[in-house]
């Protein structure tokens, strides 16, 4: 069913030829660009449009076929009749009084071109609508010749464009990664499990290391192998350095003006630089070691007062980290009586927020429905965000009043003591290119409170729970601490660099429990090829670091908590090895690694050095994970449950130091 035209200039007007229903086609291969108004397309345009072409029948008579041929010759350079233009005109020439053509049908053709030949392959007419709506439409319109030509041209353009889109979208969908078949409209939403990381890992076993899910109108791509993670986060780092911002994140993070959700660009660079330099760099962290020390010691004192009775380790850890973060931000902490009450309340609010951030939301899958907030997640997030906003407002006001009261020395000092003060100073100084607004400042505070507290405290809680389930690991860590710190000394941050086994515990904890198991979803700014598959611009990319960290082809006995595997390993948190990247990799790697590492090691070292921890005989901590965007232990390691008691054992037998506070 094809015909090849071998030489430029060769042309063919078939009449009832090759395909019985095809009555006539005018083709002339253009060897020269054409100047005729009939033919606006030169050869290269012709080539580029070739895959989305339309051929139109000539009028239904031998004469008109000849006329067609003659006309083509007269025009000198008419290519394949683009849709109806030629035919319409020809028909009018052959029978100017009639507006009726009884046999016009449109067939789509796929045209393959090489430098000197053009082959036409007619797609079965049965597949194609016989009464083309455009033709009918044109027939029924009462137009003069020039209007008709304009309308025809416009329609033609629309058809060509539509065909081009269809051909491309077909091409695109055939090159997308594999994935489970979905239902019309909702795609795979019906089968989506809220524990995304385990659900995705299960799917990867069937569909391979890159797969797709259609979530309403949103395409999700899931990557679960080191090689493909490298392609996304290293080879195409810039393209994937964007975020697909969930609707609830816009609410919580002031429209996404923070570091985590900002699109890649100068504004993101500016706010990230400000935070990293002035809050999260090693030199700033060194300068505020006193704050960490004070908070950790306060927590130890609190635990000491509870020796012999159960404590909620997760809550205490969270509060310690939160106090460190807030005292770095604006000098505020929660102490005394408020500690238990506010700690729990604050923790719940932060956990609720991160849970909402990871929750499947119809507003994301069908953005047109976002304004209805069908699941009420936006409303919930608004309520939580307002509480934080009020705290930020109070702190900012306090800071501004403090400066206005004329603590001149402080106000004029270039040495800003806390981060909020520094941010307000940067805002007032006003960088013209990328100014920092009050909304930016609040968005950054939200990043630090949310990003800084729950991630680190959940990781520490996982570590304590794992260590408690493996008394031999606890013993080794305590032996190392006794050797380096001494039994009756207090752990200082300077000790942590001499504790390889403790480092190994941290790495192993983040291997088995990367607290952001799918990182923060990335989003390509343009369509890209990953693992040979097309990953369309705007899709939501989940990198399943949790699955990579448990891949038996990479890790021996991956489910076992075994810090020793890291003792002689070069793996670190830099994201340069895609077998292990709990903090992500590339441009959007975690901005708080230095702080997380210090807090984790210093706090865990202090807890293990200060107390013996034990579970009731025969008990194990259940480490089942629950995951929004951040994972946590499903059943908190808490005192409320009779079965999961974690306690520092009572003095004088078990407190490991003579000075516990």
Which residues make up each annotated binding site for heme?
590
Q: How far is the CB of 521 from ligand HEM (least distance, A)?
A: 8
Pick 67 or 496: Cβ nearer ligand HEM:
496
Tokens in use for 136?
Answer: 């009918």
**With binding defined as CB under 6 A, does residue 588 bind ligand HEM?**
yes
Give the residue, chosen from 485, 596, 646, 660, that forms a contact with ligand HEM under the rule CB under 6 A: 596
Backbone angles phi, psi at 614, to 5 degrees: -145, 160
**With binding defined as CB under 6 A, does residue 584 bind ligand HEM?**
yes
3-class secondary structure, 64: helix
Give the residue, chosen from 187, 246, 592, 648, that forms a contact with ligand HEM under the rule CB under 6 A: 592
Q: How many CA atoms lie within 13 A of 152 on its CB side?
A: 23
Contact in structure between 620 and 467 (CB atoms under 8 Å) = no
Cα(552)–Cα(557) distance, rounded to whole angstroms? 7
**With binding defined as CB under 6 A, does residue 513 bind ligand HEM?**
no
- The site string for ligand HEM over 441-460 (x = CB under 6 A, - otherwise) reads ------xx--xx--xx--x-
Pick 580 or 583: Cβ nearer ligand HEM:
583
User: For residue 356, what are the CA distances in angstroms to 456, 550, 627?
Assistant: 19, 26, 10
DSSP string, 246-313: -HHHHHHTTTT-STTTSPSSHHHHHHHHHHIIIIISHHHHHHTHHHHHHHHHHHHHHHHHTTTS---H
Cα(165)–Cα(179) distance, rounded to whole angstroms? 23
**With binding defined as CB under 6 A, does residue 583 bind ligand HEM?**
yes
Cα(310)–Cα(305) distance, rounded to whole angstroms? 11
Pick 242 or 610: Cβ nearer ligand HEM:
242
Q: How far is the CB of 450 from ligand HEM (least distance, A)?
A: 9
Within residues 350-389, the interface with ligand HEM by CB under 6 A covers none
- CB-based closest residue to ligand HEM: 592
Q: How far is the CB of 134 from ligand HEM (least distance, A)?
A: 48
Pick 245 or 519: Cβ nearer ligand HEM:
519
Give the residue, chosen from 30, 303, 396, 591, that forms a contact with ligand HEM under the rule CB under 6 A: 591
- CA distance between the termini of the chain: 90
**With binding defined as CB under 6 A, does residue 595 bind ligand HEM?**
yes
CA 430 to chain centre: 31
What are the helix (H) ranges across 405-470? 408-412, 419-429, 438-469
- Positive/negative CA dihedral, 638, 478, 460, 659: positive
Provide CB contacts within 8 A for 595, sequence distance 6+.
279, 280, 285, 452, 456
Give the residue, chosen from 515, 541, 615, 621, that forms a contact with ligand HEM under the rule CB under 6 A: 515
**With binding defined as CB under 6 A, does residue 589 bind ligand HEM?**
yes
Q: How far is the CB of 327 from ligand HEM (least distance, A)?
A: 13
Region of 55-63, 117-125, 185-193, 583-591 interacting with ligand HEM (CB under 6 A): 583-591
Contact in structure between 75 and 36 (CB atoms under 8 Å) = yes
Cα(574)–Cα(580) distance, rounded to whole angstroms? 9
Where is the binding site, in residues? 590
**With binding defined as CB under 6 A, does residue 291 bind ligand HEM?**
no
**With binding defined as CB under 6 A, does residue 582 bind ligand HEM?**
yes
CB neighbours (10 Å) of residue 363? 21
Q: How far is the CB of 297 from ligand HEM (least distance, A)?
A: 20
Using CB under 6 A, list all residues that contact ligand HEM: 259-260, 272, 280, 447-448, 451-452, 455-456, 459, 510, 515-516, 519-520, 582-584, 588-592, 595-596, 600
């Amino acid at each position: 069913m094809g015909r090849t035209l071998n030489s430029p200039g060769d042309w063919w007007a078939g009449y009832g030829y090759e395909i019985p229903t095809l009555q006539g086609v005018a083709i002339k291969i253009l060897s020269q660009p054409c100047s005729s108004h009939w033919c606006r397309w030169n050869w290269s345009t012709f080539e580029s449009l070739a895959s989305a072409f339309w051929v139109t029948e000539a009028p239904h008579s031998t004469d008109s076929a000849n006329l067609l041929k003659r006309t083509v010759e007269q025009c000198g350079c008419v290519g394949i009749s683009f849709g109806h233009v030629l035919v319409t005109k020809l028909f009018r020439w052959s029978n100017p009084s009639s507006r009726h053509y009884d046999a016009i049908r449109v067939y789509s053709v796929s045209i393959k071109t090489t430098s000197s030949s053009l082959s036409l392959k007619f797609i079965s007419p049965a597949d194609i609508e016989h009464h083309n709506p455009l033709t009918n439409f044109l027939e029924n319109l009462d137009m003069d010749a020039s209007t008709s030509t304009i309308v025809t041209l416009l329609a033609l353009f629309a058809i060509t464009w539509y065909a081009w889109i269809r051909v491309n979208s077909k091409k695109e969908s055939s090159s997308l990664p594999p994935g489970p078949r979905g239902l019309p409209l909702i795609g795979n939403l019906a089968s989506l499990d809220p524990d995304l990381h385990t659900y995705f890992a299960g799917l990867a076993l069937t569909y391979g290391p890159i797969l797709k899910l259609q979530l309403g109108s949103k395409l999700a791509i899931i990557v679960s192998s080191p090689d493909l993670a490298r392609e996304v986060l290293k080879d195409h780092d810039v393209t994937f350095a964007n975020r697909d911002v969930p609707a609830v994140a816009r609410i919580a993070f002031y429209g996404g003006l923070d570091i985590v959700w900002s699109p890649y660009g100068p504004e993101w660079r500016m706010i990230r630089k400000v935070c990293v330099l002035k809050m999260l760099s090693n030199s700033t962290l060194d300068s505020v070691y006193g704050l960490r020390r004070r908070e950790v010691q306060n927590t130890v004192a609190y635990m000491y007062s509870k020796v012999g009775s159960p404590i909620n380790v997760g809550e205490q850890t969270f509060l310690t980290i939160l106090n460190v973060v807030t005292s770095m931000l604006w000098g505020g902490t929660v102490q005394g009586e408020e500690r238990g009450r506010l700690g729990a309340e604050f923790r719940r609010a932060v956990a609720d927020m991160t849970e909402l951030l990871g929750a499947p939301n119809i507003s994301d899958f069908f953005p047109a429905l976002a304004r209805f907030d069908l699941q009420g997640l936006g409303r919930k997030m608004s309520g939580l965000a307002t509480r934080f906003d009020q705290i930020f407002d109070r702190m900012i006001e306090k800071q501004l009043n403090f400066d206005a009261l004329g603590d001149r020395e402080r106000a004029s000092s270039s040495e800003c003591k806390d981060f909020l003060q520094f941010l307000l100073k940067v805002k007032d100084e006003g960088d013209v290119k990328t100014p920092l607004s009050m909304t930016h400042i609040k968005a950054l505070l939200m990043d630090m409170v949310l990003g800084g507290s729950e991630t680190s405290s959940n990781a520490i809680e996982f570590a304590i729970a794992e260590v408690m389930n493996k008394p031999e690991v606890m013993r080794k860590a305590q032996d190392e601490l006794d050797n380096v710190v001494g039994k009756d000394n207090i752990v200082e941050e300077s000790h942590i660099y001499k504790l390889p086994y403790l480092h190994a515990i941290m790495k192993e904890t983040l291997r088995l429990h990367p607290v952001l198991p799918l990182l923060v979803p990335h989003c390509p700014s343009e369509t890209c090829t990953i693992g040979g598959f097309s990953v369309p611009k705007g899709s939501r990319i989940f990198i399943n670091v949790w699955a990579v960290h448990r891949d038996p082809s990479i890790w021996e006995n991956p489910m076992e908590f075994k810090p020793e595997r890291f003792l002689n390993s070069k793996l670190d948190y830099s994201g340069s090895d895609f077998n292990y990247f709990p903090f992500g990799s590339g441009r959007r790697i975690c901005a708080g690694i230095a702080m997380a590492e210090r807090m984790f090691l210093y706090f865990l070292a202090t807890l293990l050095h200060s107390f013996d921890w034990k579970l009731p005989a025969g008990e194990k901590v259940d480490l089942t994970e629950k995951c929004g965007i951040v994972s946590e232990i499903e059943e908190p390691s808490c005192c409320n449950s009779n079965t999961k008691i974690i306690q520092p054992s009572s003095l004088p037998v078990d407190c490991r130091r003579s000075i516990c506070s």
